[in-house]
Every structure is written in C-alpha cells, then in structure tokens.
Amino acid sequence: MPAKPHLNLVFIGHVDHGKSTTVGRILTGLLKVGMKIHFMPADKVGEVKSIEMHHEQIPQAEPGDNVGFNVRGVDKKDLRRGDVAHKRFDTDKYYFTIIDAPGHRDFVKNMITGTSQADAAVLVVGAAEGVQTQTKEHIFLAKVLGVEQLIVAINKMDATKPEYSEKRFTELKTELTGLLKVSGFKVDRIPFIPISSYKGENITKPSSKLAWYKGPALVPALNDLTVPPKPTNLALRLRVQDVYSITGAGTVPVGRVETGLLKVGMKIHFMPADKVGEVKSIEMHHEQIPQAEPGDNVGFNVRGVDKKDLRRGDVAGPTDHPPTVAKSFTAQIIVLNHPSVITAGYTPVFHAHTAQVACTFEEIIAALDPKTGAPKPEKPDFLKTGDAARVKIRPTKPFVIEAFKAFPQMGRFAVRDMGQTVAAGQVIDVEKR
C-alpha cells in the first residue's frame, strides 16, 4: 500500500479547452517500462514490464500509439474490455489517480458506479474561447456529483491578445467566480491558475511569461488539496458487487464500504433483499481484518443468509438503521445528452452504487437554472439536453437509494439509455417503500 495519502483527481471542462493536453503535461503523457498503472473499474495495480508496437519492443509509448504491453501483478481474469488504465502520479505530498473525463457522458457513469469517486476536480477553461455552455454544465455537474474541492486552470494563455494577458485572466476569473458561487462552491478556497499546457507554462513551476501571477503553478497547487475525512461517523452502507458460496465458509458477499464501519460480530440487514445475517469474518487482500472502513473493498462471511438471497445491487447496513428502499424519490438532475426530450412516463435505467434499475419519471416538478440550481418560475412539460430540473422518480422494482444530504455516496445516480449516459443527478428526499 502507498505510504502517501491518495486522492482521485478528475479533469473536467469543455471538450476542446485543453483537458487532455493538460493531463498529458502533468503525466508527460507517456506509458513507460517500469511505470505503475492503475486499472479502473477493476481496481487493479500493476507494473509495466515491456511494451510492444508493430512487433518491436519499445521503451515508451506516446498518445495515439496502439500498443500491447506486459503487466506484472495483474491477472488476465481481473481485466475486461472497457477497463481504463488510470495513471498514477505523485507530488511530494500525495499520490494521485487521474480520471480524465474525455466525454462527460461516460465519465459520469464511472464517477457514480466505479470505485473512483473524485476527491477533487481541475476545471480547465480555455482563455481564448472563454466560458461555454459545457463549462457551466460541468460546474453544476461537479456539484451534483459531490465534488467539494476545485482548482480552476485558465488554459491557452499563449493564445490571448496580447499573449499571457493579465486582463483576460482577470475577466475570466470574475465571470467564473460568479458561476461557482451560485453553484454553491466556496470560492474563497478555489485557486485560479493561468497556464499554457501547449507551451508547458506554469504547469510544474512558475513561468516568467506570467510574472504578474503570484500564486503557485498547477502541480504545486495540488499539494494544497486535502484528503476528505472518511465518513466513519455515518451508519454502515456497503454496496454488494458479487456474492459467492465458498465451501467451508458459506455465503461470502464482496463489496465496497461506502460509509460507516463493517465489524466482525455485527448483525447486518441487506436491502432490498430484506435479509439479516451476522458477520463472521472479513477479508481484504487475502488477509483477515477485524473491521473495514469507507473505501475498503472486502469479502465477508455472513451467517444466516443464503447465496441465492443476495445479488449485486443489494446494500448492507446495520439492523437498527437499514438501507432505504425507495417507493419514489425526488431528485435534481442535469440532462447531459438526450436525442429528443424527456417527459413524464419516460423509463430509462438508473445506475446508483452497484444497482441498475429501470425507473419512471413521474413528474417534472420544476426547471432549475443549470448554472445555479435555483428553480425557474415556469413548470416545463419536457426536458432536453442542457436542462436541469427537479423531478419525481418511481423505481419499477425495489431499489436502495438514499438522500444525498444523509449519505452523499449513496445519493447520486446516472441515467442511462441507448448506450449512453443521458442525465446525472442527486437525491433530495426519499419516500420509503
């Protein structure tokens, strides 16, 4: 295990404002022999032993190269098509896993259902293009997805007129400060950093071309982020990923602790299965442990519950505070990409934690300003791409979901249809089944 504290960092922002170039600059954009890489959502770490391109061994691969590479420490059965090799990089204080959000529609699903809930985000805004619709969407989306820590990188400072213009930086900072404030971010804690990813200015060290800027460069600013406290003070919520029946051990669910603590000897209640069992043992990385905490992926032996009673999507909690099964719930959503319109009666699939359940839009309660989340006066008949709204949702079958305020980790969801993420949201309140 790494000695340094770990943070998941996501890069967001409009599609052509230089996110990938910025990530590439930070990582030097290379796959190298000897490099440690992290596969997600498989959550496996391995070391690159060799790289091959066109049947020749090469020492490193660059963006755009199609390569085969040999990885030590990861088994073939652990990986499948669609896994992403997240790159690790270190500052002197933290080790980071970077989640690049190439198209925010896929990234939303991974943010919600993957193991990579972002601890912080870097919003990249092109100085030449300025604030675009997608920039506003991403700010609201980051807030909806529960990202509390943000760094704003004003990129392409080499493309301003004149080059590296302090005036242009200040204009954008003022505009973005207003947007972030109304979205609910604490703007006094957000650094605004002028950079040029293309030229490599102010990325790892201060740039003489930006002498008027007195703050840290982008990479050193990452040291000022903080590791969010683990929500051990909340009731246990463990999302079940798989269930096994092991000879001599009995029923062994495998899953991730989102909140609270899982302890040996504890009585737990699985929902919506509505089964109660006692935790006999807990195992992580093939070692027995007395308790598991938020972020831990564990297997645990349960007495009193049969394998056939449980499935992926179930959630375990304490018997005195079991997970909430929703009859219906109200939520705020943002529509990311829908080919037509969303109306009452629409029934796509909702992804939350490890559950996938078809849910019906019962009512569009109010339209929201996508920049601020504030209700608009008119009540809309339909929603289209870019709209935000407060809605009432009814699951078609038993579904565990919690209010975001009570359990942030269990209160966000992605809405999928036609092979893409059409919307994302967070739960405001739940009517219990």
**pLDDT tens per residue, range 130-142:** 998 778 878 887 8
Residue 336's pLDDT band (boundaries 50, 70, 90)? confident
First to last CA, the chain: 41
What is the Cα–Cα distance from 343 to 331, expressed in whole angstroms?
15
Per-residue pLDDT of 372-403, as tens digits, reads 678 888 899 999 988 999 999 999 999 999 99
Does some domain include residue 90?
Answer: yes
The count of domains in the chain is: 3
Q: What is the CATH number of the domain that holds 197?
A: 3.40.50.300
What is the Cα–Cα distance from 334 to 388, expressed in whole angstroms?
4
Query: Where among 318, 336, 355 does a domain terminate?
Result: 318
Query: Where among 168, 188, 222 does a domain terminate?
Result: 222
pTM: 0.76
105 shares a domain with 35? yes
Query: Where among 286, 318, 350 does a domain terminate?
Result: 318
- The one-character DSSP state at 400 is B
107 closest CA partner among 339, 337, 430, 428:
337
Token representation of residue 60: 């490193």
Q: Which residues contact 229 (CB under 8 A, 6 or more apart)?
A: none
Q: What is the CATH number of the domain that holds 293?
A: 2.40.30.10
Single-letter amino acid, residue 222: L
208 shares a domain with 123? yes
365 shares a domain with 245? no
- With a cut of 50, say whether residue 196 has pLDDT above it: yes
Per-residue pLDDT of 35-90, as tens digits, reads 777 776 677 888 888 888 888 888 877 655 677 888 888 887 777 765 655 566 77
278 shares a domain with 150? no
Give me the domain span that covers residue 348.
Answer: 326-432
What is the Cα–Cα distance from 421 to 432, expressed in whole angstroms?
26
What is the Cα–Cα distance from 103 to 113, expressed in whole angstroms?
16
